Chains A and B, each alone.
Chain A
Amino acid sequence: MSRAPLVDALRALHALRRADDVVISAMGAAREWMALGTHPLDWVFVPSSMGQATSLGMGLALARPDRRIIVLNGDGGLLMNLGSLVTISAYAPPNLVILLFDNGVYEVTGAQPTPAAPTGRVRGDAIDFAALARASGLSSVFHFRGLEEWARELPAVLAAPGPTIAVLDAAPVPHAKGPRSPGPAPERARRFMAALAGRDR
């Protein structure tokens, strides 16, 4: 089965996203998500501290249990903060959904392999992120190997009792650039908080 194009995987999510969902996007996923349009409850995590999207999502999920918090993350980012899976399972926010796009590379720096990808490992094996998530204490865990399966099952992922993680085998975007900040970060933070608090209505 061929790996899923990231933009098509995100289009499937875009069609299902509820108006009151918060979507946190990082790195390559942020670049492609922004290209699909903007939303007041999008937290485009640019600039970021790489790896911290899952932790930021957990904080938001705990502070706003009335909202579904969807985190769009990459495998390289998660590798920088694997402990966050354990922290998330410890506090178990039911409204947190992590969508992990595993393309096996650090895409925006020139597609170097991560230490989890077969091409980055002397034995040529692959790290199973879904198994890592289960071993970290998460129980709503999904793994999809292609776009068709992803698009078909995404509603079930979003409806599953959280915290949830769904791993998609995604294709790297050739010659991809890093995401650009869509504006001054402090001002975006203020707007986001106002939108979340309902003060923009």
Chain B
Amino acid sequence: MFPGDQMGALFRGLGISHVVTVPDSTLGQWEAGIEQHGLQLIRVCREGEAWAVAAGLHLGGAHPLVMIQCTGLFESGDSLRNALHDWKLPIPSIIGYRSYLNQDTLPGDTCLAYTEPILRAWELDYKLITAPAQFSEIAEHLRGYQEALQPRVILIAEGKA
């Protein structure tokens, strides 16, 4: 939906310093564009790590963003809970919403059933992005996350799994 260069420029404009990530077929395509804008990519082995690495970066004065697929959101709940709710660290994230745009190609993908209820259960302030015309809404939603002390999430609709 968006090229990596566009996302890298957006993150740079928001003051993001590090992107902590496990790639999927959509988010992984952004890596080169993100690095092109001088942000450091931190590739971790599993998504639970991502929140903790981001927490350490934040505590050290950096401005990390977590970028993972919704499957990784499911996996990483306890780590997310600790960083965002116990310690109240305002770490923003981009979550890829698997199969949202191709619901015919993977009928019955349970990501469609559980992603948004889980985001609501974790009390995360999320914005669903389903079309390129919504690009400006990403920055609008994430801007000011540090001052607001709110962990804000962009949920990016994706195509085939």
| CB-CB nearest in chain B for A43 | B59
| CB-CB nearest in chain B for A58 | B53
Interface residues on chain B, number (Cβ under 8 Å): 32
B-facing mask of A57-86, CB < 8 A → 1, else 0?
A: 111111110000000000000000101101
Using Cβ atoms and an 8 Å threshold, which residues of chain B touch A60? 56-57, 59-60
What bracket does the count of chain A residues touching chain B fall in?
Answer: 20 to 34
Cα–Cα distance between A196 and B88 once the two chains are bound (Å): 18
Using Cβ atoms and an 8 Å threshold, which residues of chain B touch A52? 48-49, 51-52, 55, 79, 82
Asked if B160 is at the interface of the complex by the 8 Å CB criterion, the answer is no
Binds A, one of B29-37, B38-46, B107-115: B38-46
Chain B 66-116 residues near chain A, CB threshold 8 A: 78-79, 81-83, 86-89
Is there contact, CB below 8 Å, between B89 and A189?
A: yes
Q: Which residues of B contact A (CB under 8 A)?
A: 18, 20, 40, 42-46, 48-49, 51-62, 64, 78-79, 81-83, 86-89
Given contacts A47-B82, A62-B57, 8 further A-B contacts (CB under 8 A): A43-B59, A52-B48, A55-B53, A59-B42, A59-B56, A61-B56, A81-B49, A185-B88
Q: Which residues of A contact B (CB under 8 A)?
A: 43, 47-53, 55-64, 81, 83-84, 86-87, 90-91, 185-186, 189, 192-193, 196-197
